[in-house]
Structure 1
């Protein structure tokens, strides 16, 4: 498909150049001619358009032209693909989500626990508005959502867009690729269909429970191998004994569920939360780039390097997990997005792990015990007809399913609360979450967040 228009919602966001460079590098796979940036902050939009212009000027071949706008209807009309990467409330909103929870002795994290539900409460009405306009103005477009919290946002957008919206996260596929390398297999073996992956859960709440090649599950052997596990970020973070007890490799965000006390203590011991660090760091970048537009790209690259090196640094320090491995730097969600776009528009076929409806090829729920219209994170095959979930070999273990069911129930309550503006439903969403230990505390959280 030629002459593709890609719209990025949240086009003034810090990570937009990663997407632009990945799209430009993949022009032989899917020829994006124009990238439209939408943002409600004109100053950030100007800075980011300048960064992309400089990135394009330094490219070896032709690159997509860039257009910036602050009008939603203008941005989505005519789009073939829409990347949704908005942050309602900005990074300042994230810092408040984190601090309010920490003030109650609870986990203060962007997507997991009370902070993630607070983020959802203010994000759902906005993505509802956006998805309704996409359905009206660009009904044939594919919407790829990076917006957190991914399970909740994708589920909300499906109300308007159905199967033409999918949620992406680079965390599960990064876990799969690390695991394949640890097994001595090519990192792309799953994508090519050479191995079968058993991964299931929700966004930031999933487990890799099997890696089958030639009819054999290779994961038990890996879990028994101390040397091989030492090379895996998740095992270093949570301990080889714990992953062996689970019989699975957990998504790294399971640290917040399985080591909640350690996580809260580690965050509380720091002078600033992750959100506060990013607020200061990015604020300094946008200010510096506005003052020196000729150095915008150079300033962005330096800021990015610091950002990636400090990702989950507090958690690794608390668990004495060491530095991030070189291959784990440079979050790859933009590469996942390009592979997805190349499959949807460019005639390729890819196997990925995405956030999609919990409906299998036979119409039955993929994750038994969850509703068919709930959004789950599972392996899929993607082609020009969309994302097709691959059948799960076995159900989730009861303890894993119980946690997934509890969190999904809270996610759905949060969607309902955001749409009905019900404080009582918001209270239920927070009080029922596994990481909130008191209904009284949950009520105070509602008062603080709303």
Structure 2
């Protein structure tokens, strides 16, 4: 099978290639195409792949191109990890919000809306090209904000698009290890998780027939063994009765997060932008040292992830620093879609259940039940919305597994953020500026029409093409 990576000059692409060279993913693809709009970034990544240890036996041949049509011809699978505007765009996404005293984060809050508005149109262009050049290919979407981007692509690609992120699955596996019940073979049997991308909760951990989550939440020592357990006070987690995704730190501890970001010499985006501006030319010229330089930079970058939540000087776990997250989720999904055996993964996909499914742990709903509720993997959210839930992945696609209904507070937050996501998708796909303005105003981390107007004006100034996308130039 021929695999195309759109955004092939991306920093994490070598992780995918490394995973393809050994272990359970070896032999999965026969050829790799790296597509990017930036030839210099492609040259740097190619240098890293050529210098990767392990000799040439079993190597996956790869090629680089800036021609999207040529890249897509013959592709059986497409990974998309594009970043319009590059890392400089991320700097503006974060800084415009932070300069107004708001949370400055890439995918959460105002920065995530800005990122989506800029990213959805070129991703739609890619999806349309896929329909033309490789209509039977699957799109596995890494591009952030993954949930919104995936939802925007559903009208073009239908079930052949799946969004991935490693934070939810990583939480489940870290919690299982801390509880002493590591999940055998990556199976998610007995796992309850519901949410949206970067906004979800692990509410049940029952791999052996007994839910071990309550004991884990009551054990302060065990919680200190993994990232999410350290992010939140133990009494708070015990009262909540669930483990939040790490990005919920920005909601539950928003004042601390905002203050920590304001106190940093550079935003996360500025740090990454500076690192990559210096690193990429060195990689392209480094020859056999390119992989070593990249690996050092990667570990440094991983150490800085969510640094604003570790103001006590703590560091990330070695397992997290070693890599093996999102690329393994993507490759496991690809293998299942290619007929290599079923897989259970937490994915971003449509909230629609097969007609015979009912709520988690219950019999199928009777025919007289509310048909909307019967069709939703997460009750209370629209059945046609993209959500992040455990899925069974087969050669026919990803089928969400039914989850219990979120509690009132969680459901309210999910519904509100989903409304924001849908307004953002509407704005990006139709050029509706009023929808974009409402999305900013409705987001819980903005929550103000006045601030929303300042945000949108700030992003339009930072990204002139954004102002041009509104229908008729309306402001």
- TM-score of the superposition, structure 1-length normalised? 0.95
**CA separation of 1:276 and 1:361: change in aligned 2, threshold 3 A:** same
Tell me which of 443, 446, 449 is aligned to 2:456.
Answer: 446
* Alpha-carbon distance between aligned partners in 2 of 1:35 and 1:26, rounded to the nearest angstrom: 18
* Alpha-carbon distance between aligned partners in 2 of 1:212 and 1:27, rounded to the nearest angstrom: 26
Deviation at 1:214, TM superposition (A): 4.1
* Alpha-carbon distance between aligned partners in 2 of 1:197 and 1:177, rounded to the nearest angstrom: 10
Residues 31-430 of structure 1 correspond to what in structure 2 (within 5 A)? Answer: 31-55=28-52, 58-59=54-55, 61-188=57-184, 191-192=186-187, 195-317=189-311, 320=312, 322-331=314-323, 332-362=325-355, 364-392=375-403, 394-430=404-440
Contact 1:155 1:374 (C-alpha < 8 Å) held by counterparts: yes
* Alpha-carbon distance between aligned partners in 1 of 2:91 and 2:110, rounded to the nearest angstrom: 13
Superimposed CA distance per residue, residues 51-70 of structure 1 (whole angstroms, 9 cap, x where no aligned partner): 11222x63463111011010
* Paired residue secondary structure (1:22): helix
Deviation at 1:186, TM superposition (A): 2.3
* Alpha-carbon distance between aligned partners in 1 of 2:441 and 2:133, rounded to the nearest angstrom: 39
* Alpha-carbon distance between aligned partners in 2 of 1:379 and 1:31, rounded to the nearest angstrom: 23
Deviation at 1:437, TM superposition (A): 3.0
Contact 1:205 1:253 (C-alpha < 8 Å) held by counterparts: yes
* Alpha-carbon distance between aligned partners in 2 of 1:430 and 1:30, rounded to the nearest angstrom: 45
**CA separation of 1:303 and 1:28: change in aligned 2, threshold 3 A:** closer
Contact 2:45 2:284 (C-alpha < 8 Å) held by counterparts: no
Deviation at 1:286, TM superposition (A): 0.6
Superimposed CA distance per residue, residues 351-399 of structure 1 (whole angstroms, 9 cap, x where no aligned partner): 110000001122611112221111000001112111111121x201111
* Alpha-carbon distance between aligned partners in 1 of 2:202 and 2:410, rounded to the nearest angstrom: 12
* Paired residue secondary structure (1:210): strand
**CA separation of 1:114 and 1:248: change in aligned 2, threshold 3 A:** same
**CA separation of 1:442 and 1:397: change in aligned 2, threshold 3 A:** same
* Alpha-carbon distance between aligned partners in 1 of 2:320 and 2:389, rounded to the nearest angstrom: 21
Contact 2:197 2:387 (C-alpha < 8 Å) held by counterparts: yes
* Alpha-carbon distance between aligned partners in 2 of 1:449 and 1:214, rounded to the nearest angstrom: 49
Contact 1:430 1:436 (C-alpha < 8 Å) held by counterparts: yes
- Structure 1 segments, 4+ long, off by >4 Å, are 26-30
Deviation at 1:423, TM superposition (A): 2.1
Contact 1:361 1:391 (C-alpha < 8 Å) held by counterparts: no
Q: Which is further off, 172-181 or 289-298?
A: 289-298
Contact 1:26 1:338 (C-alpha < 8 Å) held by counterparts: no
Superimposed CA distance per residue, residues 136-179 of structure 1 (whole angstroms, 9 cap, x where no aligned partner): 21111111001000110111111111111100111011111111
* Alpha-carbon distance between aligned partners in 1 of 2:263 and 2:111, rounded to the nearest angstrom: 18
* Alpha-carbon distance between aligned partners in 2 of 1:302 and 1:226, rounded to the nearest angstrom: 33
**CA separation of 1:165 and 1:180: change in aligned 2, threshold 3 A:** same
Q: Which is further off, 165-174 or 296-305?
A: 296-305
* Alpha-carbon distance between aligned partners in 2 of 1:29 and 1:429, rounded to the nearest angstrom: 43
* Alpha-carbon distance between aligned partners in 2 of 1:58 and 1:111, rounded to the nearest angstrom: 36
Deviation at 1:27, TM superposition (A): 6.8
Deviation at 1:323, TM superposition (A): 1.6
* Alpha-carbon distance between aligned partners in 2 of 1:389 and 1:30, rounded to the nearest angstrom: 28
Deviation at 1:30, TM superposition (A): 4.7
* Alpha-carbon distance between aligned partners in 2 of 1:36 and 1:351, rounded to the nearest angstrom: 27
* Alpha-carbon distance between aligned partners in 1 of 2:97 and 2:190, rounded to the nearest angstrom: 39
Instruction: List gaps (5 residues or longer) in structure 1.
Output: none
- TM-score of the superposition, structure 2-length normalised? 0.90
Deviation at 1:26, TM superposition (A): 4.6
Deviation at 1:213, TM superposition (A): 3.4
* Alpha-carbon distance between aligned partners in 2 of 1:417 and 1:148, rounded to the nearest angstrom: 17
Deviation at 1:13, TM superposition (A): 0.8
* Paired residue secondary structure (1:213): coil
